[in-house]
């Protein structure tokens, strides 16, 4: 079996690709959240800013609340959507040592 075909059939690559897309999706959500609040609310003269806990509202919502939202989303994704994948080259149902007939 050639190397490229072996990688194509390996279930770990499907899992890794799915999880990479989830990670990219989280990064896009983070950027859209940050950009939307930072430039949506922060596009005024400073005299017109509203303040939350002494911080401009655009900064508080984009950076402080955004951080809490992203920590929550990443925690949910890690807990419910990501799977542990073994690094060994053995199929998932094959036990290590099943093909050890050399000894």
Q: Is residue 74 part of a domain?
A: yes
**Structural domain of 58:** 47-83
Domain count, the chain: 1
| Joined tokens for residue 23 | 């990670």
- 20 domain residue, yes or no: no
**Angle CA 68–27–79, to nearest 5:** 60
The pLDDT tens digits along the chain (103 residues) read: 556 665 667 888 899 999 999 999 999 999 999 999 999 888 889 999 999 999 999 999 999 999 999 999 999 999 999 988 887 776 556 555 555 555 4
pTM over 0.85: no
Any domain includes 37: no
**Considering the domain boundaries, does residue 68 fall inside one?**
yes
What is the CA 20 to chain-centroid distance, rounded?
7
């Amino acid at each position: 079996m050639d190397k490229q075909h072996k990688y194509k059939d390996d279930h770990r690559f499907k899992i890794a690709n799915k999880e990479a897309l989830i990670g990219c999706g989280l990064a896009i959500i983070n950027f859209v959240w940050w950009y939307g609040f930072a430039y949506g609310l922060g596009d005024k003269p400073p005299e017109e800013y509203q303040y939350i806990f002494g911080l401009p509202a655009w900064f508080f919502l984009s950076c402080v609340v955004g951080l809490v939202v992203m920590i929550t989303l990443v925690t949910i994704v890690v807990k419910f959507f990501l799977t542990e994948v073994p690094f060994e080259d053995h199929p998932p149902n094959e036990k290590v040592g099943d093909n050890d007939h050399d000894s």
